[in-house]
Amino acid sequence: MPAKGSTVEANDSEEPTGLAVLGFGEPADEAGPRRIEARLSGSDRFYRALASTGAGITLLIIVLIGVFLLLEALPAFRAAGFGFLTTQRWDPDSAPPEFGVAAMMFGTAVTAVVAMLATVPLALATALFINEYAPRVLRATLTSLVDLMAAIPSLVFALWGLFFLVPWLQPIEGWLVAQLGGTLPFMRAIATGSSLFNAGLVIALMAIPITTSIIREVLSQAPRHECEGALALGGTRWGMITTVILPFGKTGIIGGSMLGLGRALGETIAATLILNIRFEIKPQILETGGITVASGIAVEFFDAQELGLSALMAAGLSLFLVTIVINLVAAVVVERAKAAG
Amino acid sequence: MAATRALGPAPSKTPDKPTDAAGQAPRRRPRAWRWADIAEFAGSAASALLLTWLIFDRFLPFRIQGVAFFVAWYALTLPIYWLVVRDGHGPVAARDRLASVLVTTGAAVALSPIFLVVGYVTYRGWSVIDFGFLAETMELTGPLSGADDGGLLHSLIGTLEQLGIATLIAVPLGVLTAVYLSEISGPLARPTRLVADAMTALPSIVAGLFVYSIVVIRTGWGFSGFAGSLALTILMLPTVTIAAEQVLRVVPGSLREAALALGSPYWRSVLLVVLPTARAGLATAVILGMARVVGETAPVLLTVGGTNILNVNPFSDYQDNIPLFVFNQIRSSKESFVDRAWGGALLLLALVLVLFVLARLAGGAGPGRRSRRKKGAAK
């Protein structure tokens, strides 16, 4: 990286020789090193301005998204008031408009929790397996397999979930409902299949690759000499993992999981295809029916009139704010974890 | 090796290979599995299998599906294996072995969906894809036509055009941002890097809503392929930026300094030295960005419109693309539509796989690492 303040084009009249540029020929009694001035040529100033504009636009986009969604959402916020956060129904275009994100937010939270409960242990196990257990020859292949999984479109995962995973899980869920539904209220269900739980499981498929690759990257920076020290003292592999690798990678695991959570919160298509749309809060997670913010936008978009669109923008804004805060915190955490390595 | 050699007069044999002739024990390999270990595991699994069979077939008053049998078998294998190893090697070894079984299972469960997805999509979509599927549109296809009637030419053209436009916008912007982050690293660098990181998980539907509110409504442009491209650009930008920054950062500083020492201005050193050196990695960054957005459905749902007829002009009127095609077909209850959706899904999957392989070929092992050819040249 070119250090700021170093001079390259030193052929101006004040600095006649190369030696002077390097600091030779200076009076020895001068206090401290000589200040080196950097003067950029016109073309360099243009290049800097261009690159800064590029970075500026990237920054600006995220600000613009927030501002425009807010502008579009204002009418809906005015119409709904505080009820926007507590109402479950979604009828923004009816005569007295009645709508709120309570049901959507609840569904988003439930699917995200289910997805994270599946993602974190699986991602951690996969990362540990690739780093510590897999034969050395397989390591690169497995890593690209995780990358490939991240590249598979969520639509394809959603289709597979709808036609393969959900029917496959149906008998297990039916059995669980029959056995536990009597004692545990949240396990009750009239019909299973298009439930928040199943949507969460499919969403987990999209959160696993990003979480795995970040956790793997952080864990692979665990100090190797300490790992070998643990083994040399007679520790087992699992002992080494629990005493050296996991404590070292704690922040990275948390940060990676949060980035996965950001993915899970914003996932649209899986929830749209799998869920049976129902705008209500119900704790029976195995029962058919539910809604998430992202899928609500996708479903309601085509029927929305004027206020309806504004209300969807408001829902989008709330989703945007939640994910951006989570992602920013996660990005800072992961950055720290990587810097520590 | 080098250090050992420096200590004394050059030994005739390599010192780290103990030999039996010197009276030393044969080398121990603590990680290798011995036959006894495998036998312990196989024995535990077999006894768990028999126990499960006994419970399910003889004791339980009702019948349970096959899946539950395997779950119970696995759940019984764990404690039996733990007891066996604990008996033979002590509790510490038992915990270690149990952990390796659990970690391996976790990895298998996490990675198996890839194979299941690729296999299942190929199985469902293979019979649908033929020349007609790629060369026809849905214009004349009604609900009663068979799955071999109609195709996704209009969607394919839409995908190519929208992806192309998005790439044309996102790549220069992303590379410029990456150059700013790694070469200039000015005051905007830290916030930009954080925002780019956060944007990778920006809900894609929010990007769609944003473009919809600005381009489709505010400017009165209406639905168009170009609006879709803009939404894809927003999603592609952070991926390209982050991947490009990673490759730019591993360009050796000595190359930059050499260019600067020869009197080149910064922009020439970046344009003629840094970027060409990172060429392969940059290509990977671009392709990864394309693979990231080619299957995005939510944002194009809100911006492109979706249509059954061929529209080659991305700047006006409704267009279609492959994810949208799949999404609209799968929501129909007609069998022929669902079949076509699987065909589209297979095509999409193939497109992503091709992009992914291209990215690997272009960048060697991955972004930030040097290709095999370059490694050879560096030696």
- What ipTM did this prediction achieve? 0.82
pLDDT number for residue B175: 93
* Segments making up each domain of chain B, as ranges: 35-125, 153-366
Residue that is written with structure tokens 């038992």 in the block? B94
Nearest by CB to B197, from A61, A171, A331: name it.
A331
Q: Percent of chain A at pLDDT above 90?
A: 31
Mean pLDDT of A257-281: 88
A182-190 own/partner pairs: CB under 8 Å, 24+ apart: A185/A283, A185/A284, A186/A283, A186/A284, A186/A285, A187/A284, A187/A286, A188/A284, A188/A286, A188/A287, A189/A284, A189/A286, A189/A287, A189/A288, A190/A287, A190/A288
Mutation site, A69, A241, A268, interface B, largest B CB count within 10 A: A268
Lowest mean pLDDT among A11-15, A121-125, B236-240, B294-298: A11-15
Inside any domain, residue A121: yes
pLDDT by residue (tens digit) across A37-48?
A: 667 788 888 999
pLDDT by residue (tens digit) across B201-210?
A: 788 999 999 9
Confidence band for B61, pLDDT divided at 50, 70 and 90: low
pTM for the whole structure: 0.83
pLDDT by residue (tens digit) across A51-90?
A: 999 999 999 998 899 898 999 899 888 888 888 888 888 8
- What is the C-alpha separation between A297 and A76, in angstroms, rounded? 14
pLDDT number for residue B135: 81
- What is the C-alpha separation between B119 and B155, in angstroms, rounded? 24
Q: What is the mean pLDDT of chain B?
A: 82
User: Would the CB atoms of B65 and A172 count as touching at under 8 Å?
Assistant: yes
Domain hosting A219: range is: 98-339
**Number of CB pairs < 8 Å for A and B?**
305
- Quick check: B136 and B153 in contact, CB under 8 A? yes
pLDDT by residue (tens digit) across B233-262?
A: 999 999 899 989 989 988 999 999 999 999
CATH class of the domain at B153-366? mainly alpha
Nearest by CB to B199, from A62, A146, A332: name it.
A62
Inside any domain, residue A185: yes
Q: Which of A318, A308, A277, A280 has its CA nearest to residue A295? A: A277
Inside any domain, residue A215: yes
Around B281, how many Cα atoms within 13 Å sit in the side-chain half-sphere?
A: 24
Residue that is written with structure tokens 């052929």 in the block? A11
Q: Which of B196, B185, B206, B180 has its CA nearest to residue B236? A: B196
pLDDT by residue (tens digit) across A294-320?
A: 998 988 888 888 888 899 999 999 999
pLDDT number for residue B108: 94
pLDDT number for residue B365: 44
Reply yes or no on whether the pLDDT at B324 is more than 60. yes
Inside any domain, residue A296: yes
CATH number for the domain spanning A186: value is 1.10.3720.10
Reply yes or no on whether the pLDDT at A140 is more than 80. yes
Q: Number of folded domains in chain A?
A: 1
pLDDT by residue (tens digit) across A204-217?
A: 999 999 899 989 98
A194 or A17, which is more confident: A194
Q: How far is B79 from chain A (nearest CA, A)?
A: 17
Inside any domain, residue A86: no
A220 chain-B contacts, CB cut-off 8 A: none
| Chain A CB within 8 Å of residue B198 CB | yes
Mean pLDDT of B138-164: 82
Q: Percent of chain B at pLDDT above 70?
A: 84
